[in-house]
Structure 1
Amino acid sequence: MNKTIDRRRFFIRSVAGSLALPGLPSLMAGSISGTPAVAESRGAGVGARRFVAIGNLLGFQQKHFFPKTKGKGFEETPLLEPLAANREQITVYRGLDHGLRGGHFAVHTFLSGLLHHESKNRSDGNVTIDQFLADEVGDQTRFPSLTVGSEGGIHGGCQLSWTKSGVRVPPITGPAELFQKLFVTDSESRHEQKVKANALQTSILDSIREEAGSLSKRVNYEDKAKLDEYFSSIRDVEKRLELRKRWADQPKPQRPFDQPANLNTVEDLPMLYELIALALQTDSTRIATLEIGGSFLPQHLGIEKSYHGLSHHGNDEETVAHLVTLEKYQLEHYGKFLTRLAGMQDGEQTLLDSTTVLFGSGIGSANSHTNTDLPIVLAGGGYGKGEFKQTPSSGPGKVPLCNLFLDIAQRMGVQKESFGTSTGTYS
């Protein structure tokens, strides 16, 4: 009996898992029915809340990043100088983190607050805030979320987004792929292939459901609990399939310009931001993440050293100066992204008014391998107050970064009382 159960479990797990196609773990939905397809024209989804998170893999120079004066009168530090034009649209936070250790190997906790290997017994695993939101509201758009990053670097790929099943969301790796995803319609033959694949996968799921349903009547309590997990996985795959079928015949927005070429992460950064802005404006998605990771090479800014090597600067002045150059470039284009969103109308307000934009890192100091005192900037979405807020770095007044994430979720209309390691909402 046990060998039979094991074989059937393996069959269910293998087939269900095989349907999670590369690039699609984020394409899932809380509820598929009842939401009409979004119109092709710009301005669809007017007034909807949106969320974008930008994560840097190697942190920022804290002494050059954080002001000393709290409130609206905070001074312009070297790394905040590129945001001068956006000052009234941002809030800078200090003292927020997840209270974790792990250095580079804990950077993946930036948007979750949880180490992957310590989250297996949690119902939501180490789900990141973008996927947490996509689970609840992502069914309203063609793409529940977009994850953009690289597959290179010291960890071998973008670690920014994780599903509640503990699966890393593979990134869209360049502007060409992102452009195709947003604006290029499949050829007729490719479309027919996808329709046939969806039909085949639906048929396989029907067989799995019937087999698992029959099996559930004959197993003990412990095995039934495990089968329930498989049923949950099957339902997730069904939702992904339904979402794909729902959008298969809906036209994509008209392409705004010719497809861009992939250059390198440094030179591609402005175009990636532009495409994310267009994805929000066309309501192709309302949730996006961008990791500036291991493929961001200093050589493309005239610095002939490795980024990772520079991050272990040992307080050498020349090395720190190189890092400030790299980091200012990243903040400059973050600022330009905010300006771009502020220039896009979203009904009677701007797209920046509708979009909460998070910028930061899961590492506080790469030089000392600490994951505390994270650099955090929030803009738009009601968070831009033109302030510097500092909370205690330890002790009873310590505020988890997940409290801020929970606040973001609730403003997005997600009625949840906790997220990650939150102890409440940030006030």
Structure 2
Amino acid sequence: MLKSLSRRTLLRGMGASMALPLLDSMSSTRLLAATSNPADVPLRMGFFYVPNGMHMPDWKPIEGGDKYTMTPTLQRLAEHRSKFNVLTGLTLDGARSHGDGGGDHARSVAAFLTGAHPKKTNGADIQNGVSVDQVAAEQIGGQSRFGSLELGLEASAQAGNCDSGYSCAYASNMSWRGPTNPMAKEVDPGAVFDRLFAGQTTKETRRAKSVREKYRKSVLDFVLEDAKQLHKTLPEIDRRKLDEYLYAVRDVEKRLAGAERLRISEDGVPDYPRPSGVPQELKEHSELMMDMITLAIQTDSTRIISFMFTNAGSNRSYPDIDVKEGHHELSHHGKSEHKQAQIAKINRYHIDRFGYLLKRLSSISEGDGTLLDHCMLVYGSGISDGDRHNHDDLPILLAGNGNGRIQTGRHIRYENHTPLCNLYLWMLQEMGVKADKFGDSNGVLKNLG
């Protein structure tokens, strides 16, 4: 009879290691079968930020409850309707000016996970709060290989003036380990892959990477013998899970290899070299990063994730959806129908990327449900309408069942000006973090269960 596997079991090879997904042979799953207690499966929390607010008429439902009509933007997540809640009325007071004048974009992301009002400066004397993900990582981060992962699609900056006298550190970082310590995000999916599947020491990691690059080997080549031995000992259901997981890893590797190639123009000349592992196309880049998040959750490499689609005030254009103007400029729409329609396009593009993640997570079984069932994922912005720069009645979505803690499929309306930090305090407590206050919270958010 097979002995119970530890959740920390790794497939190992020369300079490489691979964490395993949750298998029925692991003690936590056996305990789950014996107790029917969803709490025995790891609970994860994630935060996904989009810039410049939202076209609210295409976002906010009219009706409350589970019979609400999905708006055009939310309709993009129709297949996942039963797995998320729309939360309205939540407010980010720390992002308001409080006498500091302009800078709503920088404040909106600096306050998004901290609930704090950042000090207005573009010098070295930055001052903010500790973010909710880092509060959790400090107390429970030791339960996984990485206390937290900070990811995104645009690189962080730690200096410079990015918004009306606010440092770029505020505009490009939403995770803060301390009041003066922003956590720079990783934007290279190849680098994330290396972190997840590299060896346990720096020397091993460098050696494995060198061999892989020289002989174009897969990380699977290094751990294949270990995987074969494990495969022989597993029951049929776990063999399928292991095979599906290894296939997903190999698929990501292939796509990463393609991302490193130069883009070739019509005349056969490369446009320009790309940083290793960072695709030129935003859609491909975002999907690779969502795959990294899926693998990190599936292997229990981390239980805490933050992700920024772009930095605050981003003026990125989106030519692949026929939006040639900059996002920030469009957000100052002045009620222009054309600009509002373009903003709505961008909003739908972003939520499609989030929908890709939800689909990936819901396709992978774990314990008595799926990975998505065991997550609490916040998606939204620290600005409501980009033209008004208001920070009340924010566009917030909460996806995942939270191991049965969350009753999903609803539009939950809260009284306007309810602190967003009430949601974060509730999440912290459900994660097992000892906290009775966070940011400007005045209690835990009600009606989620």
Q: Same fold (TM over 0.5)?
A: yes
CA distance in structure 2 between the partners assigned to 1:97 and 1:187 by the alignment? 44
> Which residue of the partner structure matches residue 121 of structure 1?
none
> Which residue of the partner structure matches residue 133 of structure 2?
130
Query: Of residues 387, 390, 394 in structure 1, which corresponds to 2:410?
Result: 387
Query: Of residues 173, 193, 200 in structure 2, which corresponds to 1:159?
Result: 173
Change (3 A) 1:325 1:421: same
CA distance in structure 1 between the partners assigned to 2:387 and 2:93 by the alignment? 18
> Which residue of the partner structure matches residue 50 of structure 2?
56
Aligned 8 A contact 1:410 1:416 in 2: yes
> Which residue of the partner structure matches residue 115 of structure 1?
117
> Which residue of the partner structure matches residue 89 of structure 2?
95
Q: What is the 5 A alignment of 1:14-413? A: 37=8, 39=10, 40-43=19-22, 47-100=41-94, 101-102=96-97, 103-107=104-108, 108-117=110-119, 126-149=129-152, 150-151=154-155, 156=168, 158-185=172-199, 189=203, 255-257=249-251, 258=253, 260=256, 261=259, 262-264=278-280, 265-294=282-311, 297-380=317-400, 381=402, 382-393=405-416, 398-413=417-432
CA distance in structure 1 between the partners assigned to 2:173 and 2:391 by the alignment? 15
| CA deviation after TM superposition for structure 1 residue 300, in Å | 3.9
- Give me the TM-score of the superposition, normalised by structure 2: 0.67
| CA deviation after TM superposition for structure 1 residue 187, in Å | 8.3
- Give me the TM-score of the superposition, normalised by structure 1: 0.70
For 2:76, what is the secondary structure of its paired residue?
Answer: helix
CA distance in structure 1 between the partners assigned to 2:78 and 2:202 by the alignment? 49
| CA deviation after TM superposition for structure 1 residue 128, in Å | 1.2
Deviation digits for residues 24-53 of structure 1 (CA, Å, limit 9, x no counterpart): xxxxxxxxxxx9955432217761110111
Aligned 8 A contact 1:134 1:144 in 2: yes
| CA deviation after TM superposition for structure 1 residue 83, in Å | 1.1
What is the alpha-carbon root mean square deviation over aligned residues?
Answer: 2.7
Q: Are residue 426 (structure 1) and residue 440 (structure 2) matched? A: no
> Which residue of the partner structure matches residue 15 of structure 2?
none
| CA deviation after TM superposition for structure 1 residue 164, in Å | 2.8
For 1:389, what is the secondary structure of its paired residue?
Answer: strand
Deviates more, 1:35-44 or 1:348-357: 35-44
Structure 1 regions of 5+ residues with no counterpart?
A: 1-34, 119-123, 194-250
Deviation digits for residues 126-147 of structure 1 (CA, Å, limit 9, x no counterpart): 1111111111111111111111
CA distance in structure 2 between the partners assigned to 1:173 and 1:321 by the alignment? 29
| CA deviation after TM superposition for structure 1 residue 378, in Å | 0.3
Aligned 8 A contact 1:106 1:371 in 2: no
CA distance in structure 1 between the partners assigned to 2:53 and 2:350 by the alignment? 11
Deviation digits for residues 275-300 of structure 1 (CA, Å, limit 9, x no counterpart): 10110001111111110114654234
For 2:351, what is the secondary structure of its paired residue?
Answer: helix
Aligned 8 A contact 1:145 1:285 in 2: yes
Aligned 8 A contact 2:119 2:128 in 1: no
> Which residue of the partner structure matches residue 274 of structure 2?
none
| CA deviation after TM superposition for structure 1 residue 190, in Å | 6.2
CA distance in structure 2 between the partners assigned to 1:330 and 1:175 by the alignment? 18
Deviates more, 1:401-410 or 1:329-338: 329-338
Aligned 8 A contact 1:266 1:297 in 2: no
CA distance in structure 1 between the partners assigned to 2:302 and 2:411 by the alignment? 30
| CA deviation after TM superposition for structure 1 residue 390, in Å | 1.2
Structure 2 regions of 5+ residues with no counterpart?
A: 1-5, 11-18, 30-40, 98-103, 121-126, 208-226, 228-244, 260-277
Aligned 8 A contact 1:88 1:385 in 2: yes
Work out which structure has the larger RCO, using CA pairs closer than 8 Å and 6 or more positions apart in sequence.
Answer: 1
Change (3 A) 1:94 1:36: closer
CA distance in structure 2 between the partners assigned to 1:93 and 1:83 by the alignment? 15
Aligned 8 A contact 1:311 1:367 in 2: yes
Change (3 A) 1:324 1:282: same
CA distance in structure 1 between the partners assigned to 2:128 and 2:332 by the alignment? 31
CA distance in structure 1 between the partners assigned to 2:206 and 2:173 by the alignment? 34
Change (3 A) 1:361 1:316: same
Task: Say how many residue pairs are matched.
Answer: 326
CA distance in structure 1 between the partners assigned to 2:365 and 2:20 by the alignment? 13
- Specify the code of the residue in structure 2 equivalent to 1:151: A
CA distance in structure 1 between the partners assigned to 2:188 and 2:86 by the alignment? 29
- Specify the code of the residue in structure 1 equivalent to 2:279: L
Aligned 8 A contact 1:269 1:333 in 2: yes
CA distance in structure 1 between the partners assigned to 2:408 and 2:363 by the alignment? 18
Deviation digits for residues 248-272 of structure 1 (CA, Å, limit 9, x no counterpart): xxx9x97433261212434311121
Q: Which has the higher strand share?
A: 2
CA distance in structure 2 between the partners assigned to 1:365 and 1:166 by the alignment? 29
Change (3 A) 1:368 1:38: farther
Deviation digits for residues 43-73 of structure 1 (CA, Å, limit 9, x no counterpart): 1776111011100121211111001111111
Aligned 8 A contact 1:116 1:166 in 2: no
| CA deviation after TM superposition for structure 1 residue 320, in Å | 1.1
Deviation digits for residues 153-174 of structure 1 (CA, Å, limit 9, x no counterpart): 9564632211134311001012
